[in-house]
Structure 1
Amino acid sequence: MTHKIISQVVTSVISGVILAAAALVPMSSSFAQDSATYDAVNKTWNLRYKDPEIEQWINKTYITAAHIYPAVRTTVSLESGDFKYSYHIKNGSNAGQDIVQITIWDIPLTFYPADLPKVTADLITDGQLYKRQFLAKLSAIENFSNSIVQSPPGWSGDLVGLDTPGKSKFVWIPGLEDEEPNGIPPGGEEKRFAVLRPELPGVVRMRIEGNNPEPWMLGLLPESPFWDLKVKEIMATDHVVIPVLAPAIAIPSPYVGAELGRRIQAHYQTWPKYGHATQAFVDELNREFAVLLPALDRKDKRQVRHAFIRIVTRLFMIHRGMVLAHALDGHPRSFETALMQSGASSNPIIDRTAARALVYSLYYLLVQSERGK
């Protein structure tokens, strides 16, 4: 009897497990065999899904826009009272695509034109005045963007995100005319991308994309939780990300050295999130800034000078061969590559781009301190 009871209990438990597992399976089996496999060598996705309209299984190869091998060199120089951020971009000879879009995004500032014309007229009651005001506003925004973003011949550059706090972006795309370039081809390069702004450099990310031959393919996939997640995963591999210097730290006006120091400190707190520096190194910097900030408050030139020397010497020890001139202007042969694509840093402590940003900002603080500011 005991064996029979045990057998019944075991049978009951097994049946319960089977029923519970069955409850987890969707009623429709349309997506049971859907799959998406990434080919890291060719930078493609092999997609398999059932077309709900024709009830047939479809096999597709999605070629990502990341079949490129970009390298970027950033230089920062002074021009007409602003900092000029110049970007020299190469596409490796082994690339399978032209570079067709370049975006510097996630800039923690909003760039907005002063005295932007307002649209006060009502579209319904005074359509002509509304149109004139609206066009005047668009023209002012375009002029503002053109005064900041410089582009090579045949490329169009734009400032995007004027109305979104902390979400400004610089975007470049090749021209649409037949005689204009299609992008940066494999083995090609372009030196004339630039941004003019008064802010000090910080580390942000440049997103670079190749000419994906079928970008609409993802829109044809079935609607399901599986494909919702997979599309996000696919899109994360649909570009190459490189850390670059860009205007990210606003200089206070009127100038206050300690306030600028606090803004620099706030910026480098974000570096561990993106792999630019370890948290341990950021903690080390914070200890140095605990000395630097009060010295800036007191206008103590000697202590500011000593703090600068300690931090910069430490950075130069980490990045052997880096000297002040190259940290400020960029070494002629120093190009950043897709080290950030997987979230990895070029250095286990602090990457070279972050080191350059910090040296540049600290040097600015030092020069202002020596001037008695």
Structure 2
Amino acid sequence: MPQHVRGVVAHSKGEPVRVETIVVPDPGPGEVVVSVQACGVCHTDLHYRQGGINDDFPFLLGHEAAGIVESVGAGVSEVAPGDFVILNWRAVCGRCRACRRGRPQYCFDTHNAKQKMTLLDGAELSPALGIGAFAEKTLVAAGQCTKVDPAASPAAAGLLGCGVMAGIGAAINTGGVGRGDTVAVIGCGGVGDAAVAGSRLAGAATIIAIDLDERKLATARTLGATHTVNAKETDPVEAVRELTGGHGADVVIEAVGRPETYRQAFYARDLAGTVVLVGVPTPEMKLELPLLDVFGRGGALKSSWYGDCLPSRDFPMLVDLYLQGRLDLNAFVTETISLDDIEAAFARMDQGDVLRSVVIL
């Protein structure tokens, strides 16, 4: 029988969200109903509410989530009722050209649940990133569920579902940070700080965190930054060169998504170094670089999609590192809140007051 649960819905561009009753259908073939335990408040949810993603209102917000599988549809073998899972928004198809070449982390045909959750009046909801986890229960594709060790805190583990994975993956998977490398991270929000933590996990010798906010730089130091640069006071390119023997960093991770900071990343890297763009730009942004500099400096200019992660591989590994005390996911949880506190959490996030607010259900 369909279930009625509480969820956070954005009805129109820029309007405050509302907690409403939503209808969650029984899972169909290949689908799963998950009882959500925790869900992080991500900038992407705010972008949905502001109409910055698309205009498919009404949206059921929330996507950085962990919970318990409640029921499964026909043909589901990946998970079973009672499993503790992290939700992801890139369920791989296994059939596209990327998957067939053994690169499922680049899957070009990721998918979501086929059925729609609705409001009581039958209006179909668009779940954020195909998840919609600011709700007591949600319907997703089975491939969007990754089983992990249930000893993990749901509030911490759920953050791997988006921002923390994006940052760690940008460093390890996309940037290929290795032992002894020098790394600079521009932008120390949740994704940037995760890139700092990922660089530390990978064994980088020098990790330079760059931001305009001293509070964020202080947090970056606790997560592994060996040096910090306040870009309000110091030219970040010159600072990175000074801290790397005049050469520039082996890997520079841009976690802001702006042309100005991308140029800084480009010129702050060493010859043959790597730039990783994980910050998300807006459609109107343009980048201009001298083509001779692109050629002459060599190396690689990369974009990182979801940290180039493969959830089935990366989520269990990172949860294990967390449980071993080698990855402090708890440090990303600034506060825990209820479904009714989402609007206030958006305001705190916009002002830079939190790393992550996490809804506990």
* TM-score computed with the length of structure 2 as normaliser: 0.25
Q: Work out which of the two has the higher radius of gyration on C-alpha atoms and give 1 or 2.
A: 1
Structure with the largest fraction of helix: 1
